[in-house]
Structure 1
C-alpha cells in the first residue's frame, strides 16, 4: 500500500498525527450530548454525565437491555439523585408489531457511586418470517445531568438465506446481493481510513461502508492489543447497525509483522526473508504474523509484496523477496499460504493481498511520480519481458488462492508498440480484468492502493472525479481505498451507475467478490475480535520464530581467515550507528509509515544480542573510544529508515515525522554514508580482525573498503530480534543465507540482475558463504566454487558469478540436476 497519491502531496504525513489522537469508538466521550440542562441546574449537572453506548443488539422476540452509566467529574458518589427520562422513538421497526413502544424514568439515587450502571428494558415481538435488521432509537433527557449518547436498539436480521452458514458461499452471496440497493452495494466497495471515521463513527452506518483501514502509523488511542480490538469492535458495531448487517472488513499493512502495534513481533523485511531461501520458514513466520494481526480484530493484511525488484535504487527494494521471479514466486506463495492457512475463518488466519500488480519493481529510473525518481514510475518493457519476469509471482499467488490483489501506482508502457502511451495500472483493464480475472481465474477482489485512482488522468483538484472512478471500476477494481474522500467517492459512483457510465452488472461482480471474502472469513458468524490469541503477541515463541528468520537471513559475503564465527571469550569492540538502534534495524513500516530511528517498539538490538553472547564487549557508536586490547572489531553500519517514494535514491527526503523534529532525513544512496565509511576505516585499520555488518534495505557499495574488511555480512533489516544476528556471529547457528539480489560493484552502475548480458556484480545473486556444520552435497559444490573464486579485494570474477547465479535460479525452479552441473562445470573450468 502507499500512503500518498503522489510525491507533491503527503496526506498521511500531515494527517496521521491528528488522527491518532481519536479515542475508541465505544467510549461515551465520543458521543455528542443530546439534551440541554436548565440554567438553574447547570452548574451541578455539568459535573455529572449519564452515558449510553451507541448500539444495543437483540434477537427477534427477546428483550433488549440498554445500560446507562453515571459518571461524576471528580469520581465521587452522587450528592443528589439523578433522573433520566427515556422513550422509544421512530426507527425502521414498527411499534407494537416489532417491539413494545414504551417510556419511563430511570433513577440513580443519592449516594450512587460514580461509574454505576442502571438498565432499562425494551421488549421485541417475535416474527415468523425472515426479516432484515430493524432499529428502535431511544431518546434520553435529564434535568440533573448531561446526557451523552443516542442509543439505538437493533433487532438482528434473521431467517434469511444469506445468514445460513450451512449454505454455500455462492448461494449466500447471490441471496445477499439480490437484497441490496445500489447505495448499499457502493458502500461495500468503499474503504475509509480509521482516523477519518473515528470522530463520526455513525458515518459507517449511514454509508454502509464495507471496509476501514489503518495506514502506516494510524493507531487507536490505546496502542495495545485490547485497544485495537475495542476500537475495531466499535467500528464493527456501527456496520452491524445497518439493515443487512454486513460486517466490516478491517485492513492493515502487516508487511513484516503488525508494525503499527506496540510490542508486536517484527520480522526481517522481505529482502531478508528472500535471503533465507526457506519457503517453510516464510510460511511459518507469516502464520505468526497472521495470528498477531487477527488477535487485534483485523482479518486482512495488505501483504505480501510479490514484486520483482530490478533496480535497487527503488525505495521499496526491501519489500521484494528478490530480483528473480523464481524467488519471488516461491516465497510469495509461501507467504500467502502462511497468512491464509487452510481456513480463512480461523483465528490464526488473515486474508492476504498480493501486491503491487504489476511490475512496480520494474519501473525505469527517472520516471517516478512527482519528485520520486523511480517509485510509481513507468515500466518500459515488452510484453514478453513482463510475462517472464513480473507476472509469474501473481500467477502462483492466484493458484494458491490469494484473497485480494492490489494494483500498483505505476504505469506500463509497452515497448512492442512504441513508447509514449503509458497506462496507469489502476486503469489497466487489459491486465486487471483480462489477464488477472479472466485468464488466470482470480476470484478474489481487487483493492486499490491509497487514493490510487486519483492519479488516473485527466487530473482534477476534486479527485476522485466521476471519470476517474468510472475508469477504475470498469478496469476491474472492486474496492477503493479512499482514506478521506470516501463520501465523495460513494456519491459519485452511485451517480456514475445511475448515469450509465458504470453498469450495475460490474457493480454486482465487485460486490459479490467482496462479500465472498467476508463469508469465507467467517465475519457473518463472528464479526467481533477473537482475542483468544492476544497473549501470543510478542511472545517468546513468536520472537523465537523471528529470531530464526533473522539468523537464516544473514548473508556472509566475505570471511577471510575464518574470521567468523567469533569466540565468546574474545574481546569485542562494537561500533557503528546501527549496532544499538531498534528503529534502524526494523526499517520502514514500523511504528509509522516511514519508520524512525530509536525506540520504535520492543525488541533486541544487535548490540544487545552481542552482549548476551560475548563476555567482554565495548561499544562506541562513532568509534571514538580507544580500540586497544580488542581481539575483534564489529562495525554495524547501513541505512536509516524510509519507505516508498522517500526511499528512492535521489528522491525527496522525509521531514514530517515528529520523531525527526522537522529535520529532513539523510539523502538516500547506494553507497555507505560518509560517517559510516569513517567508522569502518578507523576500526578496520586499528583492530586486527574486522567484521562489518551492513543493516540496510538494499546493497550498499563498499568496494573500496573491501580489502580492509575480514568478514562482511549483509544483515538486511532484521526487525526486532537482533539476537538472531549474534547467533550466527558466534556460531550458535550457521551462516546459510544467500543473496536475493546482485551486489553491485559501483554506485555509478547500480542496475545489475542475473541474466544480464554483461553480468559482473561484486557478489552474484545466490552468493553466500557458510560456516560450520554438515554441508549438503549441492552446497558443497557451491562452497568449493565460492572459496576458489572470491578475490578478497575484487570480489567475484564474471564467469563464476554467472555460474553461481544461474545455478541458484535452477535450484529455485526445482531443477537440481541443472544446478549441480552448472556448479561442477564452473569448478572444473578453474582447474
Structure 2
C-alpha cells in the first residue's frame, strides 16, 4: 500500500510540475504569439522586437522563381508571388502547389521571429494561373449581369480554389472604371459607370468574408477565405486614349467621383490590400504620389491595410524604366507604398532601402508604418496560427459546383443586341431539333480564345490551355440527339449555300491579350477572316453571330447581314452557358456594362456625355420573349 501511495503522490507531483511549466511557458511566450491578444497589441509587440533587416524583409515581395526556403530565411522575406503563368511545374496539381507554398512557409518558420509569408497570385477570374481551375467570365461580362450576389458567390468559389493550392492572397478585384475600350485592360473593368463598378465590390465579401458592421481595418473571416486586393489606385481606366500605364488628365473632383468611387466601399468591406496603378495623374506617377497614397488613401479614406506596388512599379517611376532606381525607391516608399513587388533583384532593393534609412532619406517612422500594416494583415489572417496549407481544400479546384456557378455567370453575362429586324427574321431562340446546323469560326471550339488573357499564362493563348467546355462542345450537349452539327473554322466562300443548313452559328472575336499588349489605339476591328466570314455565311443562311471579346468592336458595317447578334465577352471555361441561352433553355438577361460605339473616332464616349451617338447605348439588352409554362 505504501509503495502504491508513493507512486500516486509522485504522479500527482509530475502533473503539477508539468502544469506549472506549461503556464510558465505561456507566460514567457511573446505577446505577439498569443492569439488571445488584440491584434494591435500583437502588432506593437512584434514590431518592437524587429531589426531593420527584418522590417525591410517584410516590405519585400519576390517572385516564386527566385524564392527558396533558404532565401526567405536569410533575407527575412515577407511575401512571394506568382507572376502570370509562373507555376511550380507544367500543369502542376494542387498537391504540387501546396508542397511549394509549404516549403516557402517552412523557410519563414526558420527565422528568429517566425513571421509567416503571404503568397499572392492574380486570381482575377477564378484561380486562373492553375490548370483545371474553374475560369469565370472576365469582369466586363460580370458587369453585364448587374448581379452583386452572383459576383459575391464567384468570390467565395475563387477563394476556395485559391486556397486549394495553398495560396492566401489574390490580386483582385480590379475596380477600375474603364472609360475608353482602347485600353488593353478594359475587360478587367466591370463597367464604364462607376456605380456599376461600386456595386460589384461584393466580390470582396466573397473573397474575404463579410466583415461585421462597424468593422474598421483589414478583414479575413477564416482560412477558407483569401486576402483581397482592390486595384489599381487610381485613375488607371481614365488615361488619355486608353493607353496602359498612361496619363489620366483630369481634375481632382473627376478623379474622386469617377475613378475613386468604389474605393470607400472596398475599404468599408475590410479589403486587406490596395495596389497602386502604373498610370500617372496629370503627369505625376501614381507610385510616387504621396498626396493620393498617404494623404487621401490612408488619411481621408482611412485605409489601414497594405498599400502594395504593382510588378516593378517602383522601377517605372523613372523614365526610362530603371533610370535612377535608387531615387525611385525613396520616392515610392515615402509616397506610402508598404510592400514593394520587386520581384527579382531583392538584394539590390533591400540594400538601397537600408542605405536610405541610414541617411534619413526614408524615415524610420515610414518603415514602421509599413511594417505595422503588413503585420496587421498577417495577424488578422491568422497566418501565425495556421501558416501551412490545408490539404482538405484540394478537392475544390475545378469542382462541379463551381462549374455550375460559372455556367450561371456565363448565361447572365450574355447580351442580346439584335434578333431580327428589317428584312431579317427573328432567329432566337434557335431550334435545338434542327436537322442540320452549321457552326463557323475558330472561336467556337477553342478554350484559350474564349477565356482570353490572364488564363494559365499572362497573355493567355490559343488551344486547349486548360480544362473546360468550348461553345461548340456546349452546342453538341444541348441540341437534340438527331440533329447534325457541321463545324467549319474557316469555310471557303459560298460553303453555306444549298447544303440544307437550317441556320448558322458564327462565333467571332479577338485574340487573347493582357495589359499593354492589348492596347488598340488605331482601330478596334474584328481580325481577319471574321468580317468576310460574317458576310459570306450570313448571306447564304440565316445566322446568329456570337462575339467573344474583351470590349466592343466595330460591328456596324456587318450588322445588316446578321439575323441575330450576341455579345458573349470572355466567358471562361464553361462554353455550355452560351449554348443554353442560344437554344432557349434560359432567357437573355444581360445589359451592356459599357457603350457600344459605332466608330473608333467617337472614342472616348460614355453614357452621360453631351454628344452621345452609340450603336447600342449603355444598359441596352434585348430578350427573346420566351414563353414559360
TM-score, normalised relative to structure 1? 0.69
Per-residue deviation at 1:470? 1.3
Kindly provide the CA deviation profile for residues 582-630 of structure 1, in whole angstroms up to 9, marking residues without a partner as x. 0000000001100111111000000100111123211101123555211
Q: Which residue of 2 aligns with 1:598?
A: 463
Q: Which residue of 2 aligns with 1:635?
A: 506
Per-residue deviation at 1:458? 6.5
Residue 295 of structure 1 contacts residue 347 of structure 1 at CA under 8 Å; is this kept in 2? no
Q: Which residue of 1 aligns with 2:396?
A: 536
Distance 1:385 1:597, change over 3 A: same
Please list every run of 5 or more consecutive structure 1 residues that lacks an aligned counterpart in the other structure.
1-125, 132-156, 366-372, 414-421, 651-667, 776-831
Q: Which residue of 1 aligns with 2:306?
A: 445
Q: Which residue of 2 aligns with 1:379?
A: 248
Per-residue deviation at 1:347? 3.2
Q: Which residue of 2 aligns with 1:354?
A: 230
124, 134, 152: which one aligns with 1:283: 152
Rounded Cα–Cα distance in structure 2 between residues aligned with 1:748 and 1:672: 16
Q: Which residue of 1 aligns with 2:518?
A: 647
Rounded Cα–Cα distance in structure 1 between residues aligned with 2:305 and 2:477: 47
Q: Which residue of 2 aligns with 1:195?
A: 65
Q: Which residue of 2 aligns with 1:563?
A: 427
Kindly provide the CA deviation profile for residues 7-27 of structure 1, in whole angstroms up to 9, marking residues without a partner as x. xxxxxxxxxxxxxxxxxxxxx
Q: Which residue of 1 aligns with 2:477?
A: 612
Q: Which residue of 2 aligns with 1:219?
A: 87
Q: Which residue of 2 aligns with 1:579?
A: 444
Rounded Cα–Cα distance in structure 1 between residues aligned with 2:294 and 2:449: 40
Rounded Cα–Cα distance in structure 1 between residues aligned with 2:192 and 2:160: 29
Rounded Cα–Cα distance in structure 2 between residues aligned with 1:774 and 1:163: 62
Rounded Cα–Cα distance in structure 2 between residues aligned with 1:237 and 1:345: 24
Q: Which residue of 2 aligns with 1:406?
A: 275
Matched position secondary structure for 2:456: coil
326, 350, 355: which one aligns with 1:490: 350
Q: Which residue of 1 aligns with 2:109?
A: 240
Rounded Cα–Cα distance in structure 2 between residues aligned with 1:316 and 1:381: 20
Matched position secondary structure for 1:556: strand
Per-residue deviation at 1:455? 1.4
Matches within 5 A, 1:298-377: 298-331=167-200, 333-342=201-210, 344=220, 346-365=222-241, 374-377=243-246
Per-residue deviation at 1:770? 1.4
Residue 551 of structure 1 contacts residue 733 of structure 1 at CA under 8 Å; is this kept in 2? yes
Per-residue deviation at 1:750? 3.3
Per-residue deviation at 1:460? 7.2
Distance 1:644 1:461, change over 3 A: closer
Q: Which residue of 1 aligns with 2:15?
A: none
Per-residue deviation at 1:747? 2.8
Residue 136 of structure 2 contacts residue 406 of structure 2 at CA under 8 Å; is this kept in 1? yes
Q: Which piece of structure 1 moves more, 183-192 or 389-398?
A: 389-398
Rounded Cα–Cα distance in structure 2 between residues aligned with 1:204 and 1:296: 20
Kindly provide the CA deviation profile for residues 22-68 of structure 1, in whole angstroms up to 9, marking residues without a partner as x. xxxxxxxxxxxxxxxxxxxxxxxxxxxxxxxxxxxxxxxxxxxxxxx
650, 660, 671: which one aligns with 2:525: 671
Q: Which residue of 2 aligns with 1:812?
A: none
Kindly provide the CA deviation profile for residues 557-604 of structure 1, in whole angstroms up to 9, marking residues without a partner as x. 011143111121023210012000100000000011001111110000
Per-residue deviation at 1:669? 4.2
Distance 1:485 1:338, change over 3 A: same
Matches within 5 A, 1:391-790: 391-413=260-282, 422-457=283-318, 461=322, 464-465=325-326, 467-560=327-420, 561-570=425-434, 571-614=436-479, 615-624=483-492, 625-627=495-497, 628-650=499-521, 669-687=523-541, 689-772=542-625
Matched position secondary structure for 1:645: helix
Per-residue deviation at 1:730? 0.8
Matched position secondary structure for 2:231: strand
Rounded Cα–Cα distance in structure 2 between residues aligned with 1:279 and 1:459: 41
The answer to whether 1:174 aligns with 2:44 is yes
Matched position secondary structure for 2:119: strand
Kindly provide the CA deviation profile for residues 363-388 of structure 1, in whole angstroms up to 9, marking residues without a partner as x. 002xxxxxxx7110000111121121
Rounded Cα–Cα distance in structure 1 between residues aligned with 2:496 and 2:177: 45
Distance 1:189 1:359, change over 3 A: same
Q: Which residue of 1 aligns with 2:32?
A: 162
Q: CA RMSD in A?
A: 1.8
Q: Which residue of 2 aligns with 1:17?
A: none
Rounded Cα–Cα distance in structure 2 between residues aligned with 1:264 and 1:613: 23
Kindly provide the CA deviation profile for residues 334-363 of structure 1, in whole angstroms up to 9, marking residues without a partner as x. 111111114625232111100010010100
Kindly provide the CA deviation profile for residues 387-433 of structure 1, in whole angstroms up to 9, marking residues without a partner as x. 211110112111211110001000000xxxxxxxx110000111111
Rounded Cα–Cα distance in structure 1 between residues aligned with 2:312 and 2:559: 44
Matched position secondary structure for 1:392: coil
Per-residue deviation at 1:773? 5.0
Residue 496 of structure 2 contacts residue 537 of structure 2 at CA under 8 Å; is this kept in 1? no
Distance 1:158 1:749, change over 3 A: farther
124, 131, 134: which one aligns with 1:262: 131
Rounded Cα–Cα distance in structure 1 between residues aligned with 2:484 and 2:185: 38
Residue 584 of structure 2 contacts residue 626 of structure 2 at CA under 8 Å; is this kept in 1? no
Per-residue deviation at 1:158? 7.1
Rounded Cα–Cα distance in structure 1 between residues aligned with 2:321 and 2:228: 33
Kindly provide the CA deviation profile for residues 625-649 of structure 1, in whole angstroms up to 9, marking residues without a partner as x. 5552111111000101000000000
Q: Which residue of 1 aligns with 2:18?
A: none
Provide the aligned length of Structure 1 versus Structure 2.
588
Kindly provide the CA deviation profile for residues 168-219 of structure 1, in whole angstroms up to 9, marking residues without a partner as x. 1111111000100111011000000000124xx3111011000000000000
The answer to whether 1:185 aligns with 2:49 is no
Distance 1:176 1:207, change over 3 A: same
Per-residue deviation at 1:531? 2.3
Per-residue deviation at 1:127? 9.7
Is the radius of gyration larger for structure 1 or structure 2?
Answer: 1
Matched position secondary structure for 1:562: coil
Rounded Cα–Cα distance in structure 1 between residues aligned with 2:624 and 2:317: 52
Residue 228 of structure 2 contacts residue 273 of structure 2 at CA under 8 Å; is this kept in 1? yes
Distance 1:130 1:493, change over 3 A: farther
Q: RCO (CA 8 Å, sep 6+): is it higher in 1 or 2?
A: 2
Higher helix share: 2
Matched position secondary structure for 1:635: strand
Residue 116 of structure 2 contacts residue 387 of structure 2 at CA under 8 Å; is this kept in 1? yes
Residue 138 of structure 2 contacts residue 571 of structure 2 at CA under 8 Å; is this kept in 1? yes
Residue 315 of structure 2 contacts residue 322 of structure 2 at CA under 8 Å; is this kept in 1? no
Per-residue deviation at 1:685? 0.5
